[in-house]
Amino acid sequence: MMHMESPAFFKRIPEITLIDPLADFLGAAEGGLMRYGYTDAVKLAGHSCPTVASAYWLGVRALQLLYPDAVPLRGGVAVDLRQTLESGTTGVVANVLGQLTGAASSGGFAGIGGRFVRRDLMRFGVDIPSEIRFTRTDSGQAVLAQCHVQRVHADPRTMPLMKACLSGTATAAQRQEFGQLWQARVEELLLVHGFDDAVFELRPV
């Protein structure tokens, strides 16, 4: 059986433990405890990039801020995004945040007997002063969040190598170098700037 071989730094990115009452109710996880890591986000998206990385890390940090003294409740947080679903990479961000929070838009889980509803916990095109707002559905506590990915610069060799790869003119060595440079930026974003307020901006409101 073949196994996914990920860059070694994936294992150094902090994971988060959540409690999901629906998983507990349906016997999918004892006590509803579920652990998510960056590799889970990569598997969901099918790739690792600054967008996937920033969405994952914003979700993790926002949940920790909303539940400072308890295990975060999956399914207990609404997620609002300033951009419309069709804008840029909003859909990718939404998928990663939905995986972490359980929040879903109109096509999400409708619940069982009025409980465990995930539908309409995620909204797009909301007029908010940040890219994302996370709100606890029980208390109304919220966190505004956004990532300034552009402040973590890519190696100047990255784009020429990408163009060569896309045009089919890159050698095997160049394709490998491109992938390494691409992931090096993700590594720097999360492991060097993960708590850099100039890059990851989170504000409780």
| Helix (H), strand (E) at residue 143 | strand 142-147
Domain annotation covers residue 84: yes
C-alpha–C-alpha distance, residues 169 and 163, integer Å: 9
Query: Within 29-111, where are the H helices?
Result: 38-45, 50-66, 90-101
pLDDT beyond 70 at 1 = no
Domain annotation covers residue 140: yes
Domain annotation covers residue 159: no
> Residue 25 is part of a domain; what is its CATH number?
3.30.1330
Domain annotation covers residue 191: yes
Domain annotation covers residue 172: no
Domain annotation covers residue 173: no
Q: Which domain holds residue 119?
A: 13-150+185-204
Report pLDDT digits (tens) over 25-40: 999 999 999 999 999 9
Helix axis angle, 158-167 relative to 172-187, nearest 10°?
Answer: 140
Domain annotation covers residue 59: yes
Q: Can you give the pTM of this predicted structure?
A: 0.95
Strand partners, 144: 133, 203
Q: Given CA atoms 184, 189, 195, 198 in this order, what sign does their dihedral have?
A: positive
- 181: phi then psi, degrees, rounded to nearest 5: -65, -40
| Cβ–Cβ under 8 Å, residues 96 and 56 | yes
Count of domains observed in the chain: 1
Report pLDDT digits (tens) over 145-204: 999 999 999 999 999 999 999 999 999 999 999 999 999 999 999 999 999 999 999 999
Domain annotation covers residue 56: yes
Per-residue confidence (pLDDT) for residue 5, from 0 to 100: 84
